[in-house]
Chains A and B, each alone.
Chain A
Amino acid sequence: MARIRLEGVTKRFGDVVALNDLSLDIADGEFFTVLGPPGAGKTTLLRTIVGLEKPDAGEIYLDDRPITRVYPGDRNIALVFQNLALYPDKKVYDNLAFPLKQAKMPRDEIRRRVENAAGVLHIERLLNRKPAKLSGGERQRVALGRALVRDPRAYLLDEPLSALDALLRLEMRAELKHLQRDLGRTLVYVTHDQVEAMSMSDRIAVLREGVVQQVDVPENIYHAPANRFVATVVGSPPMNFIAVKVTGANGRLRAEHESFEVESLRDTGESLQQLAEGGVSYVGIRPEDVTIVEDGKGIPTTVYATEPLGGETIIDLELGHQVIKSIAPPTIALQTDAKVAIRFDAQRIHVFDAAGRSVMSAAGADGVFKVSFA
């Protein structure tokens, strides 16, 4: 059992607030990812959980026991760093056995644990090699193995894949998810890579400047983001934001653009108070939910650029004074400056207020928004 809970944790470095009154509740056995850009406070968060940093305020609990004052070595939480620290002069076996020897564990038990970890990570045949003779992915596995042999209650991983090349990262992503499922242990994973976060996690916490923006399952982070920051952090290319004028309240939201209108079909009640009458807000729509229609019945746009990526083509479109992105099948052939009509998937529309906070998301549901065009 290892539920990790943070309550009102604040950590300052001089004038910089690295973690700002941060609360999280990570369930036992969960693959929990902290996602954010460099400088968001991700690494500080991990270091605080493991005990390498002492919070200025707040409390950390392991299960229901407060551990903020527990010595790092006694927390039994393993931290795997971004930069793999392996002993270059020791064989893989001895690299794995080292922490156990330090703990004065009996030799048989050490052998059993090392072999067990090697089996889980598929590195049995590498046990007699030195780190220099390993590939990047193999070294990564050995570094994980060093954490595994200690049989900790939870694993904290700090950007473990960032040093690997793109293809290897792809493979390791799948392997890590497998591994975590097999181990059934709590794993807190820190990354700035949205693909890693989306593909591996049970839940994601999006962090910005030490403040948690949203904690949710990947689907909701993607389809019902709490604000524009979250909406931009996941999805590639990122969500389009189109400036609109909000009019006609009457309990229903109505967002006007010079060439289209988005209307809420439900009573939006209180959330409307977030939007000042006649104020500027944003309609958010992901590139894959913008479709180019052939019958010309849609919102008029002009092709700004086309980016064929092989499996799909990104079409950049001028809509009023903005450029938005649309994802089209690779078979599409459009010239720059061509006039094309587009439609938005009404089930995937989001409305954000001027400050970027989400007002409403269709989040896949029908009958939330209606889109009309001239």
Chain B
Amino acid sequence: MASIRLDQLTKDFGGLLAVDHVDVEIEDGTFLALLGPSGCGKTTTMNMIAGLETPTSGEIYFGDRPMSRVPPGKRSVGFVFQNYAIFTHMTVAQNLSFGLRVRKPRPSKTEIDSEVKRVAEVVGLGSMLQRKASRLSVNDMQKVALGRSMIVKPSIFLLDEPFSNLDAAFRAYMRAELKHIQHEIGQTMVYVTHDQVEAMGMADQIAVMNLGELQQFAPPLEIYNRPSNKFVAGFVGSTRINFLPAEKVAVPAPKGTDGGSVTLAIRPEYIGLVDPGSAEATITAKVDLVEPLGATDVIHLSWNRYDIRAIGRPGARPRIGDNIGLVFPFRHLLFFDDQTHEAVNGPYQA
């Protein structure tokens, strides 16, 4: 069993709280992403799970077993790092079989060969087994690194930004591959990334971190549609979410702490575009700039000195300087307290 529980996990690097009382619990077979900007504590958290760092306080449990005194080699965790560690003088097959060949007692040659073949198929190296690792592309090297960890069947698989050095097309390919592999073998995975697309696309559960603190722990779509605070709302999403002072927009808004002000937030793709005079329009804004991205356009608008981004279709592209009506659908509005930056329940949930 490899469920993981982080209980008030804390790491203090001489006054710098890298990880600050983090609580996370996942079931066996879960794909967990630790997501956040650089310096948020995600790698330190992973290093504590791996045993490469000792917690200052708090505990890590695999199943019911506390792990903080268990050495890394005894934890049954596999790693894949950003900088792949593979033996370049060996063939792909030799690299893959390495973890089995050093195991005691050593498995039979037939067993090793069949495992190497199986894993090579899974990671997409089936046709390259006899090739020297030094002659592989960087993409294939990372597949070898992945396969090498996989073959020893760790109960937990830890990946630290494994694809961040690779090109965008390969990352998109590997996202689907990794998610498929994880589905096939039901492996518990902890994936560290600063790329929200990777976290959203692959994870069952995302732990969003910032400055050592856990901001939100939830499934991807809940993180996206119900962010717990302003930081999470702004960090997740390919085109930046819009923030506007709620009092200036004619929508029923909740009150903040002590009756204080709140910020309204709406994701660009949820904004409807209509004629400027339309009764549906929540506000009317002026087009500043249109950025064509191919499948969609990002439309930059200004309204009362605020910048607003909306998503348009290339077939119906507005002109710069045009006024257009923006519809803010009620069910997609989010509100954040201006003092605490925490989410405030909007009327839509009542």
Contact = CB atoms under 8 A, between A and B. Distances in A.
A304 B295 contact: no
Contact of A311 (B37, B169, B238, B288): B238
A37 B167 CA distance: 8
Contacts of B221: 308, 310, 330
B267 A311 contact: yes
B169 A238 contact: yes
B190 to A, nearest CB: 18
A170 B37 contact: no
Q: Report the interface size class on chain A.
A: 35 or more
Interface string A5-38: 0000000000000000000000000000000010
A311 B269 contact: yes
B180 A336 contact: yes
Nearest to B267: A311
Contact of A316 (B169, B180, B236, B289): B180
A325 B291 contact: no
Contacts of A312: 269
Given A167-B240, A238-B169, A316-B176, A178 B288 contact: yes
A219 interface: yes
Interface in B132-186: 167-169, 172, 175-177, 179-180, 183
B180 A219 contact: no
Nearest to B167: A37
A64 to B, nearest CB: 32
A330 B292 CA distance: 22
B176 A174 contact: no
A167 B220 CA distance: 20
Contacts, number: 103
Given A37-B167, A170-B240, A310-B200, A288 B179 contact: no
Interface in A192-216: 194-195, 198-200
Nearest to A331: B221
Interface string B208-235: 0000000000001100110000000010
A235 interface: yes
Contacts of A234: 294
A181 B322 CA distance: 17
B3 to A, nearest CB: 22
Contact of B172 (A194, A306, A325): A325
Given A232-B169, A308-B220, A198 B293 contact: yes
B211 to A, nearest CB: 15
Contacts of B172: 236-238, 325
B267 A235 contact: no
Given A199-B292, A219-B314, A310-B220, A305 B179 contact: yes
Contacts of B292: 198-199, 218-219
Contacts of B269: 311-312
A307 B197 CA distance: 9
A309 interface: yes
A167 B179 CA distance: 27
Given A305-B179, A309-B200, 13 more contacts: A171-B240, A174-B289, A235-B295, A236-B168, A238-B168, A238-B172, A308-B224, A310-B238, A311-B238, A311-B311, A312-B269, A316-B179, A327-B295
Interface of A: 37, 165, 167, 170-171, 173-174, 177-178, 194-195, 198-200, 218-219, 222-223, 232, 234-238, 286, 288, 304-312, 314, 316, 323, 325, 327, 330, 336
12 contacts: A194-B168, A195-B293, A219-B292, A286-B294, A286-B295, A305-B175, A305-B180, A309-B197, A311-B268, A311-B269, A336-B180, A336-B183
